[in-house]
Chain A
Amino acid sequence: MHDGSGLIAVQNLTKQFGPVTAVQNLSFTVSPGSVTGFLGPNGAGKTTTLRMLLGLVKPTSGTATINGRPFHQLGQPGRVVGAVLEAQGFHPARSARDHLRVYAAAIGVPDAQADQVLGLVGLGSAADRKVGGFSLGMKQRLALATALLGDPQVLVLDEPANGLDPEGIAWLRTFLQSYARMGRTVLISSHLLAEVEQTVDQVVIISRGQTMFYGPLEQLRQSQQRRVLVQPSDINALATALRAEGVQAIEQLPDGRLAVSGVDSRQVADSALKAGVSIYGIQEEQVDLERLFFQLTSGQYAGYAPAQTPYKQQGGWA
């Protein structure tokens, strides 16, 4: 039987769909007590990885375990792990309550549990409606309710915020955090860092099936140096003055500003004053996780800008 640790361990996981390598030598672990974000752009291999973890897709090589066991050795999997997966099906003619009762029976929990999770996800009043008539967000809530039926120790959610309204997203955020705080394990995928930034403690960032970053979100934040963006009257004079003070990380931006790393805005302003340079604008750059995310993942299926015309834009930067 499984060890009840709540640990998810993915080791050297690889999946090949014919010529397509969906996941390549992926490794990470997820510990209980925290929410872990699983991030990557479209086609990065998130869904494939989660499905391998849940025993739905057979890995080409490597292992994925929950509580120290592969999925099919969990015994009663519905009581150990609950999952929301994209493209998860419902029979359109079945009511939400009937849907939950089917799987409540399979997991072996009392029927009352069906109504309880319906209430939990805010679908209490739609319990007797046929799922075929549900909106995307309602289906997403029902999928979450299904995942919660067995009161599982581990939650695996693939883009659960898809289709949820702002109120639903806010609710999900607090729900997942309190779930993790009860000492349970939550793994949640998204292609938007911003979407989960306020929810997750740990992140696993993948791109093209490979791990790009794995660790606490805080560490990711710190990995990017803060920069001061300054628009001086004389760029060269200010750059020389800063260099004289030992500041080396100076960069000229395309818009004519200087980006200075490793200092705060006060120090830059003081240097400018000493050098007799006026400052027209100064700003401390916020840590932009999204930009960092882009750098890490450099989308494999990046599209082109809509205005790809032969002419250059008037007053452009080029």
Chain B
Amino acid sequence: MGNLVQAELRKTTTTGLWWGLLIPTAVLALGWGLATGLLGQFFVDFASTSDVDEVSDFLGVTPDQWKVSLFGMARAINISTIFPMVFGALAISGEINRRTITTTFLTAPSRMHALLAKMLVYVLWGAIYGLAIMLFLGIGVVITSDSGQLPDAGGWAMLTLACVLSSVLMTMFGVGIGALIPNVAGTVVLLLLYFLVIENVLHLVLAYLEVPSIIGFLPNGSINGLTGSVAVDLFLSTAGVVPPEVEDVLRAIAGAGGALDWWWSGLVFLGWSGIVFAGGWAVTQSKDIT
């Protein structure tokens, strides 16, 4: 297995795809970070000058101490991790497309071995992407935010953990989809459509039908729930007593409307990744490579 993992690692490092996708990922994270700081600043200025004092009253802190950057960061992570997901999606569909899968299967004890080795390597890449996203996002936010709106050290650590986890899970999900639908264009288009459009529409419909709790069990809903819940928890931990209605609004802002606790959300999405990977494995196992 170690041999196959090394082979898969070499496959990813001997072409330019990893940095070809990492650059836009970093740019997006940085841009989102900068915007987060600016928007947060704007919001805090607005809140401090107007008569929204009541809000600050029951939040128990003055607006300039609100950790508003957390919400933008949660959103930034959700969007940026689409890139590692696409990177993962190309792992198997790319090999089938270029027909290198033939040699891959000829040099592995079994197809299962080859797929597992690939999954391990892409978990590593997911973590690398996650760290890069957090780094550039952090730089952006720090540049444009007041220190009062930034999380403390523990908050940063928690966010980093959520970001890396989220990125790893998204990459795994991509790998599974790429095996399930062994067509590069089809896979990428489907993933983008689903994560950017289809499920968001679904969320609106579910909210309208007043069953928002289902959202937390959907793929995008659960992965957003992971980062969003972390952000909301961190915000609330410094905000004193908050009525449930406000908490719901905050969750929605963080992109975690209807979501479960962060670790539950992570487990739900891990479940989705597992289902998709099992499906992809079944397809790949029985496939005729001609």
- Which of the 9-residue segments A96-104, A170-178, A181-189, A221-229 touches chain B? A96-104
Say yes or no: A89 contacts B103, CB within 8 Å: yes
Q: Is B158 an interface residue (CB 8 A)?
A: no
Say yes or no: B109 contacts A76, CB within 8 Å: yes
Report how many A-B pairs have Cβ atoms within 8 Å.
Answer: 88
- Which of the 9-residue segments A24-32, A77-85, A208-216, A310-318 touches chain B? A77-85
- Which of the 9-residue segments B6-14, B168-176, B236-244 touches chain A? B6-14
Q: Is B289 an interface residue (CB 8 A)?
A: yes
CA distance A237 to B6 in the complex (A): 81
Q: Shortest Cβ distance from B17 into chain A, in angstroms?
A: 8
Among A83, A92, A95, A105, the residue within 8 A (CB) of B106 is: A83
Among B7, B102, B109, B289, the residue within 8 A (CB) of A102 is: B7
Say yes or no: B107 contacts A90, CB within 8 Å: no
Say yes or no: A54 contacts B106, CB within 8 Å: yes
Q: Is B154 an interface residue (CB 8 A)?
A: no
Q: Is A48 an interface residue (CB 8 A)?
A: yes
- Which of the 9-residue segments A55-63, A196-204, A252-260, A292-300 touches chain B? A55-63
CA distance A277 to B242 in the complex (A): 122
Say yes or no: A106 contacts B290, CB within 8 Å: no
Q: Which residues of A (97-155) have their CB < 8 Å from a CB of B? A: 98-99, 101-103, 105-108, 146, 150
Say yes or no: B290 contacts A108, CB within 8 Å: no
Among A51, A85, A105, the residue within 8 A (CB) of B10 is: A105
Residue among A57, A105, A107 with max Cβ neighbours from chain B (10 Å): A105
CA distance A234 to B110 in the complex (A): 71
Say yes or no: A56 contacts B108, CB within 8 Å: no
CA distance A108 to B100 in the complex (A): 18
Given contacts A56-B289, A57-B290, contact A91 B10 (CB under 8 A): no
Given contacts A58-B286, A78-B106, contact A90 B3 (CB under 8 A): no
Q: Is B210 an interface residue (CB 8 A)?
A: no
Interface size on A, residues (CB 8 A): 38
CA distance A92 to B100 in the complex (A): 10
Say yes or no: A106 contacts B102, CB within 8 Å: no
Given contacts A72-B110, A106-B7, A106-B108, contact A95 B14 (CB under 8 A): yes
- B105 to A, closest residue via Cβ: A56
Residues of chain A within 8 A (CB-CB) of B65 are none
Residues of chain B within 8 A (CB-CB) of A101 are 10, 14
Say yes or no: A90 contacts B10, CB within 8 Å: no
Say yes or no: A51 contacts B106, CB within 8 Å: no
Residue among A78, A87, A98, A106 with max Cβ neighbours from chain B (10 Å): A106
CA distance A71 to B109 in the complex (A): 9
Say yes or no: B288 contacts A88, CB within 8 Å: no
Residues of chain A within 8 A (CB-CB) of B4 are 105-106
CA distance A88 to B3 in the complex (A): 22
Say yes or no: A108 contacts B3, CB within 8 Å: yes
Q: Is B104 an interface residue (CB 8 A)?
A: yes
Residues of chain A within 8 A (CB-CB) of B101 are 89
14 A-B pairs besides A58-B286, A90-B98, A90-B100 with CB distance below 8 A are A51-B289, A56-B106, A77-B108, A77-B109, A83-B106, A87-B99, A88-B99, A88-B103, A89-B95, A91-B11, A94-B14, A94-B15, A99-B14, A146-B103
B interface residues (Cβ-Cβ under 8 A, vs A): 3-4, 6-7, 10-11, 14-16, 95, 98-111, 286, 288-290
A interface residues (Cβ-Cβ under 8 A, vs B): 17, 47-48, 51, 54-58, 72, 74-78, 81, 83, 85, 87-95, 98-99, 101-103, 105-108, 146, 150
Give the 6 A-B residue pairs with the shortest CB-CB distance, closest first: A89-B99, A106-B7, A98-B14, A105-B7, A106-B107, A56-B289
| Pairs across A and B, CB under 8 Å, 26 listed | A17-B288, A48-B290, A51-B288, A54-B106, A57-B288, A57-B290, A72-B110, A72-B111, A77-B107, A77-B108, A85-B102, A88-B99, A89-B102, A91-B14, A91-B15, A92-B98, A94-B14, A101-B14, A103-B7, A105-B4, A106-B3, A106-B4, A106-B7, A106-B108, A107-B107, A146-B103
